[in-house]
Chain A
Amino acid sequence: MYELTICHLYPDLMNLYGDRGNIITLTKRCQWRGIEVKIIPVSLGDEFRYKDYDIIFIGGGQDYEQTILQDDLMRSKRQPIIEAVESSKVVLGICGGFQLLGKYYRTHTGSEIECIGALDLWTHGGETRLIGNLVIECDFLKGKDPQGYVVGFENHSGKTYLGEGVKPLGKVIKGFGNNGEDGFEGAIYKNTYCSYSHGSLLPKNPVLADHLITLALLNKYPDFMGLEPLSDTLEQQAHDTVIARIISE
């Protein structure tokens, strides 16, 4: 009997538009295969022991909420998050969560907000928001999905740049991506995955969801043989129709 524990960091603050869809998807796709899932919310004032968790999720938040958690994050969670990332825990950071995992966020007025620094990446606040549907091509998914396409929706003003050792999640096919300049989206470092596709990234991209679940199971159970396939007709249909429409627009 396999078992995974998912940590939802700051679920009451970093929960912008549908981020919990990612948690729901990870949970359901495990349960349908008989894998037990526990979800532990960890918020302000809570202790964060990364070793207790197999998957750590941090979503996006509004500016106001992000300022509320800043102190708590830097004081009590920063070090364990860095250790989690370095020890190859599966971490998923979306939008604001993606930015927080980097080194700093420089607002467009010039002030710099220090971030966790777990990944060598940084963000500059822009004046315009990058909003819209997003399709990217992910090489690491090509064995499981013919084109390796991942589809989502982005809405951010920050422009993120990747340092050495951090790979992008994918190449932008449609949309803006990290900064609207270099043609890449998201970030991968060890088993940490980041994306600007806030909200429902995983539901419509079941191959990506399964990729993360597999990594978490392999971490915990070295003899794990691989996930049983599920009937993904609806997910695949949603994935394909949206991509077809976005690309033809």
Chain B
Amino acid sequence: MKNLIKKIHLTFTIIITKITIWLLRLLDRGGTSLPGKVALKIYPDILTELADKFRIIMITGTNGKTTTSRIAAGMLEQSGIMHVTNKSGANLVSGIATTLISSLTLTGKARVRTALLETDEAAFKRIAPKLKPEVCIVTNFFRDQLDRYGELYTTLNSVREGIIGTPETVLILNADDSLCASLGKGISNPVIYFGIAPDVYPEANLNINNDAAYCINCSTRYEYSSVTFAHLGHFKCPKCGYERPEAQVECSQVLAYDNLSSTIEIRLPEMKFSTKLALPGLYNIYNALAGASLGKYLGLDEKGLIHVLEGFECGFGRMESVNVMNREIKLILVKNPTGYNQVIKYLLTQKGHCVLALLLSDNLADGTDISWIWDVDFEILSFMKERIRAFHVSGKRAEDMAVRLKYAGIEQDNIKIEHDWNKLIDNIINDAGEQETIYVLPTYTAMLDIRKVLKNRFKLKEFWK
């Protein structure tokens, strides 16, 4: 009897949720979180019920979640595994509930048996123990939106708590990140580490604003034999001996790199191959390695892995480009100092003249505290300033960005503030010569805003791939 009531309750919840999804679609509002909220209201423990219906792969961490999810999706497809996945931005409990329920039939059967879920790192501890994922990828930990997530170690410990609740889950962890790698210590879960071999990347350096310079166990300063960026590298604690674990999936060489791609050699237990990633920047090598680790776990061979890695294209807003009036506009999302520094390093590989537009907003989704822009090394831009025709700033906190650029050594007269998106677009197009590139670096909501304007204005159908 109790079971029957439970079953009716569940079916009722699924039906109501599906109706909400249909209604939102009918109204042309692609609601990704409201249906899940409704479901959780009627059936608070819905995630536990859904867990049994799916084989679940979760991805969390500060940076690279979306790109890694997309590479992971490629790995699943290559393995012939049909799956559902949540849209970026719908990575809280409600978004995940929506995603899972939308792929159920009315009687509660899963139409697709596998779910790939990008999960917010703060929400992870509540979600993971319920969903009991088969695999969980953790990309890295950096300081990000302190006003929202609180301190870095709080975020790390929250993910750790989630993992402790899932002792069977296979963990795919970043070996070069002392914080992320520590998740694999003292637990019984199987762990696959990925990382970059020492001294393979030419522009690596040690940043003073290191998020994790001191040993997580004994507070002694780590020694590094090699650093890729921020606190990522081959660390070792001279006191307690905690050190970078051996990586089973490793980038053993960077063969070539430019502003569009990196050609790297990847070494796995039984294979070694070179592949050309159509994604620039060191941070994307990490994302590729995380994806390759999943591919390896799924049993893909060398050919399969290469096929996915080489065929991969950028996802929503992480880096998109569009041609407008013979100029290329490249849109790259920036949300925290580490990511921003990587984008600036990427700009250094740019040849020829270009125009820059830095868009800073402080809505909730961007983080209401914008002081992190002072942790970004904008000073590096002054090395290439003769190649940058103009520095445009926009967004709700455009003036703060203007001040930051001035103190980074950019001439005041070359910094232009414009709050109107349409006028900004006119200005950047005017300042760029034909065939030149315009780099637009927005925070999250600024990206949504500028995309909308670009899309309407240039009536582009197949705008974003």
Chain B CB within 8 A of A204 CB: yes
In the bound assembly, the distance between CA atoms of A64 and B153 in angstroms comes to: 7
Chain B CB within 8 A of A241 CB: yes
Chain B CB within 8 A of A67 CB: yes
Q: Are A21 and B415 in contact (CB under 8 A)?
A: no
Interface residues of A in 4-47 (CB under 8 A from B): 11-13, 15-21, 24-25, 28, 41, 44
Give the contact-size bracket for chain A: 35 or more
Chain B CB within 8 A of A65 CB: yes
Q: Which residue of B lies closest to A63 (CB)?
A: B151
Known: A25-B407, A203-B404. A44 touches B368 (CB 8 A): no
Q: Are A234 and B402 in contact (CB under 8 A)?
A: yes
Q: Are A11 and B208 in contact (CB under 8 A)?
A: yes
In the bound assembly, the distance between CA atoms of A41 and B213 in angstroms comes to: 15
Chain B CB within 8 A of A147 CB: no
Chain A CB within 8 A of B150 CB: yes
Q: Which residue of A lies closest to B368 (CB)?
A: A132
Q: Are A200 and B219 in contact (CB under 8 A)?
A: no
Chain B CB within 8 A of A76 CB: no
Other-chain contact of B150, A25, A129, A237, A245 (Cβ < 8 Å): A129
Q: How far is the CB of B219 from chain A (nearest CB, A)?
A: 5
Known: A12-B210, A203-B404. A20 touches B415 (CB 8 A): no
Q: Which residues of B contact A24 (CB under 8 A)?
A: 374, 407
In the bound assembly, the distance between CA atoms of A146 and B418 in angstroms comes to: 26
Chain B CB within 8 A of A248 CB: no
Chain A CB within 8 A of B450 CB: no
Chain A CB within 8 A of B399 CB: yes
Known: A155-B146, A203-B404, A234-B412. A20 touches B209 (CB 8 A): yes
- Max chain A C-beta neighbours (<10 A), residue from B400, B412, B415, B417: B400
Chain A CB within 8 A of B327 CB: no
Q: Which residue of A lies closest to B215 (CB)?
A: A68
Q: Are B147 and A131 in contact (CB under 8 A)?
A: yes
Q: Are B412 and A233 in contact (CB under 8 A)?
A: yes
Chain B CB within 8 A of A62 CB: yes
Chain B CB within 8 A of A141 CB: no
Q: Are B417 and A12 in contact (CB under 8 A)?
A: no
In the bound assembly, the distance between CA atoms of A44 and B403 in angstroms comes to: 32
Q: How far is the CB of A87 from chain B (nearest CB, A)?
A: 29
Chain A CB within 8 A of B344 CB: no
In the bound assembly, the distance between CA atoms of A81 and B11 in angstroms comes to: 67
Chain A CB within 8 A of B106 CB: no
Chain B CB within 8 A of A189 CB: no
Q: Which residue of B lies closest to A12 (CB)?
A: B213
Q: Are A237 and B399 in contact (CB under 8 A)?
A: yes
Q: Are B152 and A62 in contact (CB under 8 A)?
A: yes
Q: Are B151 and A153 in contact (CB under 8 A)?
A: no
Q: Are A237 and B417 in contact (CB under 8 A)?
A: yes
Known: A18-B372, A129-B150, A153-B369. A28 touches B407 (CB 8 A): yes
Interface residues of B in 395-422 (CB under 8 A from A): 396-397, 399-400, 402-404, 406-407, 412, 415, 417
Q: Are A234 and B371 in contact (CB under 8 A)?
A: no
In the bound assembly, the distance between CA atoms of A75 and B213 in angstroms comes to: 21
Q: How far is the CB of A157 from chain B (nearest CB, A)?
A: 9
Chain B CB within 8 A of A219 CB: no
Q: Which residues of A contact B219 (CB under 8 A)?
A: 67-68
Known: A20-B209, A24-B374. A242 touches B147 (CB 8 A): no
In the bound assembly, the distance between CA atoms of A25 and B404 in angstroms comes to: 9
Chain A CB within 8 A of B43 CB: no
Other-chain contact of B371, A21, A41, A62, A235 (Cβ < 8 Å): A21
Q: Which residues of A contact B400 (CB under 8 A)?
A: 200, 203-204, 238, 242
Known: A11-B208, A18-B372, A62-B151. A238 touches B402 (CB 8 A): yes
Chain A CB within 8 A of B424 CB: no
Chain A CB within 8 A of B214 CB: yes
- Max chain B C-beta neighbours (<10 A), residue from A198, A238, A245: A238
Chain A CB within 8 A of B375 CB: yes
Q: Which residues of B contact A28 (CB under 8 A)?
A: 407
Known: A17-B143, A68-B219, A199-B369. A242 touches B374 (CB 8 A): no
Q: Which residues of B contact A155 (CB under 8 A)?
A: 146-147, 369
Q: Which residues of A contact B399 (CB under 8 A)?
A: 234, 237-238, 241-242
Chain B CB within 8 A of A133 CB: yes
Q: Are B153 and A63 in contact (CB under 8 A)?
A: yes
Q: How far is the CB of A244 from chain B (nearest CB, A)?
A: 11
Residue contacts A-B, CB under 8 angstroms, 26 given: A12-B210, A13-B213, A15-B208, A18-B371, A21-B374, A44-B221, A62-B151, A62-B152, A63-B153, A64-B152, A64-B153, A67-B219, A68-B219, A129-B150, A133-B368, A199-B369, A199-B371, A199-B372, A203-B404, A204-B403, A234-B399, A234-B402, A234-B406, A234-B415, A238-B399, A238-B403
Query: Which residues from chain B sit less than 8 Å from chain A, CB to CB?
Result: 143, 146-147, 150-153, 208-210, 213-214, 219, 221, 368-375, 396-397, 399-400, 402-404, 406-407, 412, 415, 417
